[in-house]
């Protein structure tokens, strides 16, 4: 089986769903942000503060391309899709599943999370603007799963069924 990439805006549930999906499919799961932290010895917040977003995006692309491409679930950072080369790479090496959630739900999940350097302390309007700036990149996916008002089990099952089609 090719890699399964879970993408979506921050707070869409990529990590949670990735872990549940990995358990159901008996596959390993790797998170690009966690891999960056492991490789650099820095938190994402520290990378942004000390080196900036461009440096982080370069690391993100490098990590993505060094992860396995078969029999794995890869959860991605919310901005990985803004680079065309990342979207092309993910499509060529696997299936991109977009997890979509209502922006009100996402805002409630992330607006006070200090581990999200792009979202922390932004207003709801600023987060909506950020989402809209990425929306066309998110839509450039293999499959889209709406996660609103669904349980983790329901979302996981929907992904599994979509992979059979």
13 is in an annotated binding site: yes
Mean of the per-residue pLDDT values for the chain? Answer: 92
Q: Hey, what CATH topology would domain 3-148 get?
A: Rossmann fold (3.40.50)
Structure confidence by residue, pLDDT tens digits, 137-146: 999 999 999 9
Does 108 have pLDDT greater than 70? yes
57 is in an annotated binding site: yes
Does 122 have pLDDT greater than 90? no
Closest CA to 6 of 83, 80, 61, 102: 80
8 is in an annotated binding site: no
pLDDT at residue number 92: 96
Does 127 have pLDDT greater than 90? no
Does 112 have pLDDT greater than 70? no
**Are the C-beta atoms of 135 and 82 separated by less than 8 Å?**
no
Strands (E) across 29-114 are located at: 29-31, 73-75, 94-100
Q: Mapping DSSP to helix (H, G, I), strand (E, B) and coil, where does residue 145 land?
A: strand
pLDDT at residue number 116: 67
Boundaries of every domain in the chain: 3-148
pLDDT interval class at 80 (50, 70, 90): very high
78 is in an annotated binding site: yes
The string of DSSP letters for 88-109 reads HHHHHHEEEEEEE--HHHHHHH
């Amino acid at each position: 089986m090719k890699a399964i990439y879970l993408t979506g805006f921050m707070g869409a549930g990529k990590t949670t769903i990735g872990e549940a999906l990995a358990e159901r499919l008996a596959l390993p799961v790797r998170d690009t942000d966690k891999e960056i932290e492991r490789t650099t010895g820095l938190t994402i917040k520290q990378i942004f503060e000390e080196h900036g977003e461009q440096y982080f995006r370069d690391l993100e692309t490098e990590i993505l391309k060094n992860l396995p491409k078969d029999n794995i679930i890869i959860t991605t950072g919310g901005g990985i899709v803004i680079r065309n080369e990342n979207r092309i790479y993910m499509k060529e090496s696997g299936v991109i599943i977009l997890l979509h959630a209502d922006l009100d739900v996402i805002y409630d999940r992330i607006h006070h999370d200090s581990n999200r350097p792009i979202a922390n302390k932004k207003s709801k309007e600023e987060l909506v603007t950020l989402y809209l700036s990425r929306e066309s990149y998110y839509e450039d996916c293999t499959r889209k799963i709406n996660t609103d008002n669904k349980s983790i089990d329901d979302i996981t099952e929907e992904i599994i069924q979509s992979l059979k089609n």
